[in-house]
Amino acid sequence: MQRYDVLILGSGLAGLTLALQLANHRKVALVTKRTLTDGASQWAQGGIAAVLDQTDSVDEHVRDTLIAGAGLCDEAATRFILSHAREAIEWLIELGVPFTPDANHETGFHLTREGGHSHRRIVHAADATGAAVIATLAAKALTHPNITLLENHIGLDLITGRRLGRGDVGCLGAYVFNKDAERVETLLADHTVLATGGAGKVYLCTTNPDTATGDGIAMGWRAGCRVANMEFLQFHPTCLYHPHAKSFLISEAVRGEGGLLKLPDGTRFMPQHDPRGELAPRDVVARAIDYEMKKHGLDCVYLDISHESPDFIRAHFPNIHQRCLELGIDMTREPIPVAPAAHFTCGGLVTDLAGRTDVANLYAIGETACTGLHGANRLASNSLLECLVLGRAAAREILAAAPTERLPVPAWDESQVTDADEEVVIAHNWEELRRFMWDYVGIVRTDKRLERAAHRIALLRQEIDEYYSHFKVGNDLIELRNLVDTADLIVRSAQQRRESRGLHYSLDHRETLAEAVPTVLPSRYGT
């Protein structure tokens, strides 16, 4: 049993930002499922959106975000986050993040443009922004004496007063499974923060790393948090389509710099779907590609930027260019085969603008949270920004908070369970879940498909709950349990939305209602 001032589950940009903001004043535990740099933030290619140009304005960034969000963004939250963008970028620059320079721009940095943005406002580090940012912050965290890094640990369940039968005293910490020692440990803290990322692995095809199993969302939900807008799963339009290219993303910046989407015969199709063409928001582009693939019986379409000079392509997209070359694709001379894949969870645990959830002393930041910024569709490069701004805001709140009551907490009890006899059950259920979520709750939905998915989830939950009750926990069982809970939240939210809006498109409810209303699932405890 270990005690810290602050327990952070998740080591992506949100978790690292918070840890570094707190560490000079608090003892922090940073828990990560694998290694420190093994989350989705590391994979981010495009960049971070911020108003850094005199021809741009926060008002225009807000307008672009509201348009992309299909009327469902919280305007106050959106303005708060975007208004703090510049100072967040300046903090990263002070830490030494190597953003791509441009001597001809007033800031000294190159700004690119992505779909849905009316201006060039994406600061980036070539086409590997996430890797550059995470490497910089991780190096700082590793050398800070007040940050304890717990790698190969996965959150199992939150410890709350309600769980202990002590009333609503809030969150006291978490039970965490140590994968190396194969045991459950009790980590106590005055403040606990869920920064575990999204839930892309609930789908068969995803750009997310294997760690994106909805852990924080499921843990928060089980602890009594409300959940909002889980029906809005963003499918990135352009994931590299190749049998040996698992989850490799082709950045939206390729389209921002002139890349064109084409059919196998070279015909460009986006202008037929939206006047903005390739620069339409992601939900529009993903549906257009899905439509063309189904119409023509295709496994993929093609993204072509070969009309630009080879030097331009290699300079702007060195990592994408290199990865494609490794697979026999020369993007300077030929188009890249692409297809949509699950990419970003727009919904999550309901929080305020300091990351506070419905459970006292429990916070959620990053993709785990629903602040209202993304609405029904995330605008490109707003996600890393949200991690930065809310990570810094949560730090201010935690530092200003009064001391919390410290109660006795029992260790994890596994005296009534045994070692698993047939782990093939977990593997089978994992595969089945991801397959039917892809088929029934994908880019285009129907009432019947959602009903089928709900039925399958109910059956899977029975099997998993029985397994969980009788056998010792392990990483795969913990993740599967969280995936089933997250899938259930997605399907229930989708069933409640009787319209098509943003990322949720239903063939049975094609119209968009006049009033945009968030889908909020109340706490499982009814509060």
Catalytic residues: 282
| Bridge partners (DSSP) listed for residue 304 | 260
CA dihedral 491, 494, 495, 498 (to 10 degrees): -170
3-state helix, strand, coil in the chain (%, to 5): 40, 20, 45
CB atoms closer than 10 angstroms to residue 499: 16
Residue-level length of the chain = 527
Distance CA 454, CA 492 (A): 8
Contact 315, 251 (CB under 8 A): no
What b/e string do you get for 242-273 counting C-beta neighbours within 10 Å, with b at 16 or more? beebebbbbbbbbbbbebbbbeeeeeebbeeb
Residue type for position 110: H
DSSP string, 96-153: T--PPB-TTSTTSB-EE--TT-SS--EE-STT-HHHHHHHHHHHHHHT-TTEEEE-SE
Structure tokens at 275: 């006047």
Distance CA 352, CA 161 (A): 22
Contact 22, 206 (CB under 8 A): no
Helix (H, G, I), strand (E, B) or coil at 236: strand
Contact 156, 173 (CB under 8 A): no
